[in-house]
Chains A and B, each alone.
Chain A
Amino acid sequence: MAPVTQDASPPATHSPRLQFKTYLLLLIMIIFGPLGNVLLGMGMKHLSHGSWSAAQLPALLAEGIGSGTVWLGIASLITFFVANILVLSWADYSFVQPAASLAYLVVAVMGRFILHEAVTPLRWAGVGIICVGVAVIGRTPARTTEGAP
């Protein structure tokens, strides 16, 4: 393994700078992740007309890879992915993954207003509880593996 070159700034685990960086990247993740999924859903449902059989699936996936809407979704998910791997270079996975789950609220809102999906009260409640879970997890420190290789 190559030695890691560090910048002049020390690795201040709980500094405001690191927190700002973390929350900025989380914001990018919770916008572009859901947007990507909405675009994928839009593109795939347009192709499938709402159903498929196991035999049709490979052809449908191939068609999906050729769809412009699906590619817009992929571009959005790549933005999400880059933000995700950058934030994972310093923050714990078991902090980042739950914190990024605010995206579930965003995806329900986008599904309701962009795709006109019928989001039932029980589904909203479920999404709300997911967000409460996120708030509980958000109060735990962002890094626990100090000095790990």
Chain B
Amino acid sequence: MTMEVILFILVMAAGTAGELCVSRAMKTIGEVHDFRPKAILKVIGRAMTISWMWLGLALMTTAFLSLLGVLAIEEVSMVVPVTAMSYVLGTLGGKFFLKEKVTSQRWAGVLLVCAGAALVILGSK
């Protein structure tokens, strides 16, 4: 049980930190205009030269293995909504790490998402 909680926390914390690192790397590249497969591969190739991308991938791998462990015992329709709790982390990260402006309306939405995730947990006992 405690092991399961640790894995849940790793899914959320490492996953969010990983996505923030990847987002930071992609912002360095700038807006993608060309969606032909060759051009997309080129963008991915360029992304792989940015160290934020590698740190992000390492964190996301950690989150992925933790997710596999949790999914081995819990229902998918419970596990995935509960990971919505990472929205607080993500919004804080967007604000402080990526310098995005977070409006009060966006905060309200994030709080609703968290309330929903809490109900999903309560609905699983």
Contact = CB atoms under 8 A, between A and B. Distances in A.
Interface string B61-96: 000110111011101111111001001001101110
B10 to A, nearest CB: 12
A129 interface: yes
Interface residues of B, number: 66
Contact of A148 (B35, B81, B91, B99): B99
Given A98-B106, A104-B84, A89 B31 contact: yes
Contacts of B58: none
A34 B32 CA distance: 25
Interface majority SS (helix, strand, loop, mixed), chain A? helix
A107 B78 CA distance: 9
Nearest to A103: B80
Interface of A: 1, 4, 6-7, 9, 11, 21, 34, 37-38, 40-41, 44-45, 47-48, 50-52, 54, 57, 60-61, 64, 70, 77, 82, 84-86, 88-90, 92-95, 97-98, 101, 103-104, 107-108, 110-112, 115, 117-140, 144-145, 148-149
Given A93-B100, A130-B81, 16 more contacts: A41-B79, A44-B71, A48-B73, A50-B73, A77-B64, A86-B26, A93-B98, A98-B87, A98-B113, A111-B76, A119-B77, A121-B123, A123-B124, A125-B123, A136-B106, A137-B109
16 contacts: A57-B3, A64-B68, A88-B26, A97-B94, A98-B113, A101-B84, A104-B81, A111-B76, A117-B75, A129-B116, A129-B119, A134-B113, A135-B109, A144-B101, A145-B98, A149-B27
